[in-house]
Amino acid sequence: MSEFKMDIPWDRIIEKILSKLTGIIAEAWGDAIANRYYQNIKVEIAFGEFDTVGGKKQTDLLAWGDYFRSIGVSDGKIKNDNNYEVSIYSSDPKAEDIEWGTKPQEEAGTTDEEIINWARQKKIPNPESFGRNLAKIIRSKGQPEHPVFRRSEAKTESQRSEVVSDGIKLLRKKKKDFTI
């Protein structure tokens, strides 16, 4: 009688299966979180209330159309440790000043002429005078922060159950080839 013994490396097989599953799940939830965060940023820009240089609340950053259009989401990728990496970003060169505000006398990159043109687009009476005065205030007081990204991150974190639901929906949509 001959006998053939075979060692089946179950630990490595299970490790590969779990690694593949972890990657698929991480990608679905990563995409769900990124999508929710991106939506929250757009809502915050459109409807969030922020201080202005005059101290009043401003509820429409959509006036900053370039900033709104500059918001994007990178393609996500699975890293070696099965964590999912995705970036939500703004390509607007003034994005950091918008998010964090500026100090007085700090060069914010906005010229008097840009502010005057903005005032004209908004049909503000006496746009030249308004623009010069606003530029003077910005130079003397700085620009207030408009923490769009920070608020959106906190809001996304508070929507954990909705994000889990979104992740499950994305997971169901993924028709990935599950080969080992």
* The pLDDT of residue 117: 87
* The pLDDT of residue 128: 92
Q: Return the SS3 of 72.
A: strand
Q: Return the SS3 of 74.
A: coil
Q: What are phi and psi of 9, to 5 degrees?
A: -80, 70
How far apart are alpha carbons 164 and 177 in whole angstroms?
Answer: 23
* The pLDDT of residue 7: 78
pTM here is 0.66
How far apart are alpha carbons 169 and 116 in whole angstroms?
Answer: 47
Give Cα 178 distance to the centre of its chain.
31
How far apart are alpha carbons 139 and 128 in whole angstroms?
Answer: 17
Supply the angle between the helices 112-121 and 127-141 in degrees, to the nearest 10: 130
* The pLDDT of residue 63: 64
Core vs surface per residue 72-86: b (16+ CB within 10 A) or e = eeeebebeeebebeb
Domain ranges of the chain: 13-49+58-96+147-173, 102-143
Mean pLDDT split into 10-residue runs, the chain, 180 residues: 77 78 77 87 83 70 75 81 80 86 69 84 87 84 86 88 81 61
Q: Is the dihedral of CA 85, 161, 156, 39 positive or negative?
A: positive
Structure tokens at 136: 């003077």
CB of 159 within 8 A of CB of 120? no
Residues 6+ positions from 158 with CB-CB distance below 8 Å: none
